[in-house]
Structure 1
Amino acid sequence: MSALAAPDAPPRWSERLRWTLSDASVIARTNLTHWVRNPAAVLNLTLYPIVMVVLFGYVLGSAMNVAGGGDYREFLMPGMFSQTMAMGVMTTMTVVSLQTARGVTDRYRSTPISRPGVVLGRAFADIVNSVLELLILLACGLVAGWSWHRGIGDALAAVGLLLLLRFALIWVGIYLGLALTPEAASAAWLPLLPLTMLANTFVSPALLPGWLGAIAEWNPLSATVATCRMLFGNPGWQGDSWAAEHALTLAIGWPLLITLVFLPLSARRYRRLGG
């Protein structure tokens, strides 16, 4: 297929920005409308957090102990919040891959729409979905006995870090979705799940073999989990490595680095489709 001509961008940067944001909002509303009209997707968003809390909090958590005698569900929930944000990359990747295979992306590219606006609209839609999913998961945690024990400002800061992680991983999902077939995208959970487990999500890295513990400490997910536990006032672990002592720095730095790498890669991959 020959490359489609890109629409001419406005000459002034302010006009280009307004054009991009306007088109991004249209694309986001379109994606959200399709999601609302898909009962299976809505049901999955509703049931997934409930199933995860019951499975890990009650079934597996009944055999878990926390150092210092803390409640395991208090320890678990920040990890569950972070893992859910990380696993959202699967949704992004699958949807983008399907849209590319079905020609939806080509139709966008053949119309006078800002090309950055298309991928940005996808990111906006996924962030809205993630906010809803996180709210449901927070409610499930409160029902299960979890709570935050510091001020509302710290709790909102933790939620902001969780969404920052999700926003960064959206660009990973967009890039992989543009690069992979739907079949390959649907199988990507196999390497993704161990990456979310090999962190401080469910157990302290100190309980892992030395080399696995080191990997877990430097996992970007671990930084977000550790910082959220601190901000929520939930029990956690205190390692003596640089990563453990600077969890807040890494919780901000890792998502920014991932975004700086994969956002331009996603935009360039989109521009080169069909070339």
Structure 2
Amino acid sequence: MTKTVEMIHEDDLPGEERKLEPKPDWQPRYPGSGRLQDKVALVTGADSGIGRAVAALFAREGADVAVVYLCEHEDARKTCEIVEGEGRRAIPIAGDVGDAAFCQAAVAKTIDSMGRLDVLVNNAGEQHPDKDIRDISEEQLRRTFQTNIFGMFFMVQAALKHLKDGASIINCTSVTMYKGSGELLDYSATKGAITAFTRSLSSNLAGKGIRVNGVAPGPIWTPLNPFGGASPEKLEHFGESTPLGRAGQPNEVAPSFLFLACEDASYMTGQILHPNGGIIIGG
């Protein structure tokens, strides 16, 4: 576990939101209406970025949240404070989702602390820019797949026996799955795998009444890109190529996760939502 964390920090990933300027917008934009009242959600990568915004919005809608994260303890404490500020319970759970044993332990802690699990959000991910495929080391390739797609398998395997009829699983894929990315070859490949996993798992679990959907964000201002996940050239004009002409904010993505988590989406499974600034893609 320690070796993995050190390796990731070679390029400052996953990054600390408390050090990022300008700060991403995570705040929910509207009053809650109880759409997740007394539900329990486990959100991976919940210390910052999209994960924090999802945790905040879920809490506003009445959910207790297990805040799963790698090693950014101060950011995770802030997310827990945000959830608690909405009058809901939060528990921080630190560890590597690429470790199957950790995923089992994280789900067990959630059940022990909160008594149930209704929504699993697989949001944790990492990316490393390389313009030449020959620069992608075997270690990086394995690590990116371990976090981004193996971690989703491990979390679902751990959570499944606790998910009942009406439960929801939401996986975070990416616009890069659909349009590709010349400098994120391994990352975009994992996102393709996540979309296929989402569609296949939805068929596998439909008979149990468990819905499985995904969200494919476009360029969103989170710690992932500024702390080593994008080249300086890309960061200089981050998000400007979208039809809306700017990067998105985490609180512009979180409502897609909320919709898929609650009963509003009761007739949706195997689907992907696209908060991406207007980029037109197929699928």
Query: TM-score w.r.t. structure 2 length?
Result: 0.28
In terms of fraction of residues, the more helix-rich structure is 1
Larger Rg: 1
Which structure carries more relative contact order (alpha carbon 8 Å, separation 6+)? 1
